[in-house]
Chain A
Amino acid sequence: MFLQLLVNGLVTGSVYAIAAVGVSLVYGILRLVNFAYGDMMALGAFIAYFANVTLGLPMVLAALVAMLAMAAISIALDVVLWRPLRVRRAGFMSLFLASIGVALVLRQAILLVWGPQNRSYDVDPFKVYVIGSVRLSLAQVVTIVTASAAIVAIGVFLARSPSGRVMRAMADDRVLAQISGIDVNRVILVTWVISGLTAGLAGVLAALVQSSFDPNFGFQLLLPVFAAVVLGGIGSAYGALAGGLVLGVATELSTWEGFAGGVDPVYKPVVAFSVLIVALLLRPQGLFGRARVV
């Protein structure tokens, strides 16, 4: 049972991890807490639904369509909203409020087009893989494989590619990076592309794992994702990855009977937040964050 929960946790955690990287990079580079990210994930999931169920495309293709669509939408939003706000030197509160406005618009758009009912992808829900004492649904296997590949790809991109290194530098210490003469606009473009891709992918994978989803599931997902970003330490993309995995695993494992009867599964979100709060008490800057200096 423990192993099963651990694997479930890795599945959930990897979805959190991918989403958390997108949120973290946008915050680190654009100083924007993107409350619309949850609804971007949901929109990605619904676009994939359109591709998969309505158009009959295979799931892989549908996911790609969703990812590209969300990347395009992210760029469009930057052109239409975020860049004008940057020009007007909007402060943190303005950006935050604007992202709430965008979230509202996106959510209502999904509701207008698809309605409030639950949806599911055209995948076989009964197919099960058994490895030892662990049972995995097709969705879970796909998620783990895809998420791992994505995490590795993101990790490599951030570590090796020139853009990636620049992004990490900017997220860590923006002023210093700008003084070093990097092309800020290009970095911002890349940031939004990655954010869109991760939102699309995370949304689709989460919807797959949940097997049925409704337009509100994005925001519900967003809170543990924010928690993962904070847990990992704001400004650290690697931290976001780690934070996502830790939260996912901790949430699932908390229901194990071995921990004094285990937590009622209904309380899993509470566990995620509790883990975050306890971690911040012990290490206020997050796992990979930097301590405050006066």
Chain B
Amino acid sequence: MSVLSSGEFWAFVGVMAGIYTLFTLGLQVQFGLAGLLNFGQVGFMAIGAYTMAILVVKQGWSMWLATPLAVVVAAAAGVLVGLPTLRLRGDYFAIVTIAFSEIVRWVATNEDRLTGGSQGTINLSGEGVATQYNGAWERFQGWVGDELHIGSKDVVMLIIVWTVALLLLWLTARLARTPWGRVLRAIREDEDATASLGKPVFRYRLQALALGAAFAGLAGCFYAWQFSFFGPDDFQPLITFFGWMILILGGVGRVWAVPVGAAIFGFLFAATRFFDFPPFSYLDSADRAYVRLMVIGLAIVLLVVFRPQGILGRREEMVLE
């Protein structure tokens, strides 16, 4: 039980909550603002992470240049995905986006020379040569730690992630209140009525998709730095589903609901780790992992039945009136 009170552990949980906040903020823009059913968000996260790592390791770029470009590439991927698919009806679009994220994962697994293959970024310079993209980040982290007189790496990471997350949350909340946000909300409710008022519906949806993808790309970069190496299997559809759970848990349509959802989800996920008491203590660690996920699955179902709007959401989003 001592781990429960370990600062390091909860700092780690906080970092993951921050990364998922960025990831899910993208979903909030895409679905909460624009009504798009993007179930391939993890694909954009992968593109962000891999682009950054490849540029740093293979092209020798500085992390400070590689990261913004990685985010731009993720956004561009959003545009590329959206161009042929955004005219499809919502549920078709959803399936196609899952297909997209699986294609990304497949390419990452099989294009060894580009991505290091199934072993992940450790192989970015080819087999047998272990590579790191993390050097500059570690130095930056160290610098921040020195400036703030904080020794723990995890706490420093926590501060950096959440500083960025809070800034982007604030910007997004402001964006939602602009005339641009107004058009998106209108499109979400009734695209034909909005088109009849002279708005180019397709163009706005594309922008929302790309912006959301950029957030996922940034989340991917933070994920990459947090774990210092990653592989294609880090970007399974389950991640996207977790994002959707956080989105709905916090509440659809409210930007500030995202960190709430992420915090609760992070807590739930982490807390299930500590089922040290019977009957769980009779299970081996592999089985306990299965039970944890089962508990999460049950928690989701209960949430849907008893509080579909999540913490801060509106009932009309989730319930037919």
The interface residues of chain B, by DSSP majority, are classed as: helix
Stretch at the interface among A2-10, A94-102, A157-165, A251-259: A94-102
Q: Is the CB of B88 within 8 A of A284?
A: yes
Q: Is the CB of B95 within 8 A of A227?
A: yes
**A292 within 8 Å of B by Cβ?**
yes
Given contacts A234-B91, A284-B87, are A81 and B305 in contact (CB under 8 A)?
yes
How many residues belonging to B are interface residues under a CB distance threshold of 8 Å? 46
**A90 within 8 Å of B by Cβ?**
yes
Stretch at the interface among A60-68, A137-145, A267-275: A267-275
Considering the complex, which residues of chain B in the window 83-104 have a beta carbon less than 8 Å from any beta carbon of chain A? 84-85, 87-89, 91-92, 94-96, 98-100, 102-103
**B281 within 8 Å of A by Cβ?**
no
Residues of A within 8 A of B98 (CB): 223, 226
Q: Is the CB of B92 within 8 A of A101?
A: no
Q: Is the CB of B106 within 8 A of A84?
A: no
Contact of B304 among A89, A90, A107 (CB under 8 A): A90
**A277 within 8 Å of B by Cβ?**
yes
Q: Is the CB of B318 within 8 A of A104?
A: no
Question: Which of B192, B297, B300, B305 gathers the greatest number of chain A CB atoms within 10 Å?
Answer: B297
User: How many Å lie between the Cα of A292 and that of B303 in the bound state?
Assistant: 34
Q: Is the CB of A267 within 8 A of B106?
A: yes
**B268 within 8 Å of A by Cβ?**
no
Q: Is the CB of A101 within 8 A of B91?
A: no
User: How many Å lie between the Cα of A88 and that of B305 in the bound state?
Assistant: 8
Q: Is the CB of A223 within 8 A of B102?
A: yes
Given contacts A89-B320, A108-B291, A280-B92, are A100 and B85 in contact (CB under 8 A)?
no
Stretch at the interface among B153-161, B179-187, B244-252: B244-252
User: How many Å lie between the Cα of A264 and that of B251 in the bound state?
Assistant: 43
User: How many Å lie between the Cα of A56 and that of B94 in the bound state?
Assistant: 42
User: How many Å lie between the Cα of A85 and that of B308 in the bound state?
Assistant: 10
Q: Is the CB of B99 within 8 A of A88?
A: no
How many residues belonging to A are interface residues under a CB distance threshold of 8 Å? 49
**B319 within 8 Å of A by Cβ?**
yes
Given contacts A226-B98, A280-B88, are A101 and B298 in contact (CB under 8 A)?
yes
Residues of B within 8 A of A227 (CB): 95, 99
Nearest CB of B to A259, in Å: 19
Q: Is the CB of B99 within 8 A of A223?
A: yes
Q: Is the CB of B241 within 8 A of A100?
A: yes
**A131 within 8 Å of B by Cβ?**
no
Question: Which of B92, B294, B319, B321 gathers the greatest number of chain A CB atoms within 10 Å?
Answer: B92
**A276 within 8 Å of B by Cβ?**
yes
B297's closest neighbor in chain A, by CB? A104
Q: Is the CB of B290 within 8 A of A90?
A: no
Residues of A within 8 A of B99 (CB): 223, 227, 273, 276-277
